[in-house]
Amino acid sequence: MARGKKLYEGKAKVLYQGPEPGTLIQYFKDDATAFNAEKKDVIEGKGVLNNRLSEYFMTGLNAVGVPTHFIRALNMREQLVRQAEIIPLEVIVRNYAAGTLAKRLGLEEGVALPRPIIEFCYKDDSLGDPLVAEEHIIAFGWASQQDLDDMVALALRVNDFLSGVMYGVGIRVADFKIEIGRVWDNDFQRLIVADEISPDSCRLWDIKTGEKLDKDVFRRDLGSLTEAYTEVARRLGVLPTNAPQMGKPTLVN
């Protein structure tokens, strides 16, 4: 499909103008970054895996009535999505203590939380995506109280779906981040899940062994990121057919 002009290049994806007004093409790169881009690398095949996994989660969400921006897959690295006005907040849902929550409150990583906890971070790389309260969000006009209520409802539905799907393949969703955008259908505005849902933006732990199957493998140098993401895709039965083969090398005689 002919891509339009490049509109935006982020850390892991590039956005192009789509073929019709109100659509975008989302291209998944192999670049990996952590700690606000202080740690960087190119992980061959990551973009292909994340494209496939995000397609899988977004398609499932659409199918159970949770609206997302996903329209259809185009190829190994690209998907057609609906253009949305992104609310400048990272919406984090946590089921188990990890990452910055564990650090901030002195909790042991892996402790089950009494209920899912939702946090908002203001999307600004130069500030390091600071945690903000609803008060800040309303006062600075990033979203209305109604938007916030809708965002919490949407985030909890995504959590139930993701946690259920991943439980089915022996993986615990410790936490994840989504981005939410506004779209207009005639005069009616509604919120949809946008951006991506992939192991780049989730913490995924094997239920039996606790093995990490997400970007912490990269953040903490725990081994091969492609192997971890491939394992998630393999368990879900969505391994891309010509993704990099990560098995042991075999001798060619």
State the residues that interact with ligand TYD by CB under 6 A.
90, 92, 98-101, 121, 129, 175-177, 201-203
Residue with Cβ nearer ligand TYD (74 or 102)? 102
The DSSP bridge partners found for residue 15 are 8, 26
Given a contact cutoff of 8 angstroms between Cβ atoms, the answer to whether 87 and 111 are in contact is no
Residue with Cβ nearer ligand TYD (81 or 92)? 92
In the structure encoding, which two tokens stand for residue 77, read together?
Answer: 């690295």
Residue with Cβ nearer ligand TYD (87 or 92)? 92
For the bound state, the minimum distance from the C-beta of residue 103 to ligand TYD, rounded and expressed in Å, comes to 8
- Among 188, 207, 189, 192, residue whose Cα is nearest residue 65: 192
Residue nearest to ligand TYD as judged by C-beta position: 99
In the structure encoding, which two tokens stand for residue 231, read together?
Answer: 């394992």
- Among 226, 219, 203, 224, residue whose Cα is nearest residue 39: 219
- CA distances, 122 to each of 72, 74, 91, 92, 141 (Å): 29, 31, 9, 11, 12
Rg of the chain over CA atoms, in angstroms? 18
For the bound state, the minimum distance from the C-beta of residue 193 to ligand TYD, rounded and expressed in Å, comes to 14
For the bound state, the minimum distance from the C-beta of residue 8 to ligand TYD, rounded and expressed in Å, comes to 16
Residue with Cβ nearer ligand TYD (83 or 95)? 95
For the bound state, the minimum distance from the C-beta of residue 128 to ligand TYD, rounded and expressed in Å, comes to 9
Q: What's the rounded Cα separation, in Å, for the pair 125 and 37?
A: 9
3-state secondary structure of 144: coil
Residue with Cβ nearer ligand TYD (10 or 22)? 10
**Side-chain-facing half-sphere of 52: CA atoms under 13 Å:** 20
In the structure encoding, which two tokens stand for residue 65, read together?
Answer: 């009535």
Q: What's the rounded Cα separation, in Å, for the pair 225 and 199?
A: 10
For the bound state, the minimum distance from the C-beta of residue 49 to ligand TYD, rounded and expressed in Å, comes to 16
For the bound state, the minimum distance from the C-beta of residue 72 to ligand TYD, rounded and expressed in Å, comes to 24
Residue with Cβ nearer ligand TYD (77 or 203)? 203
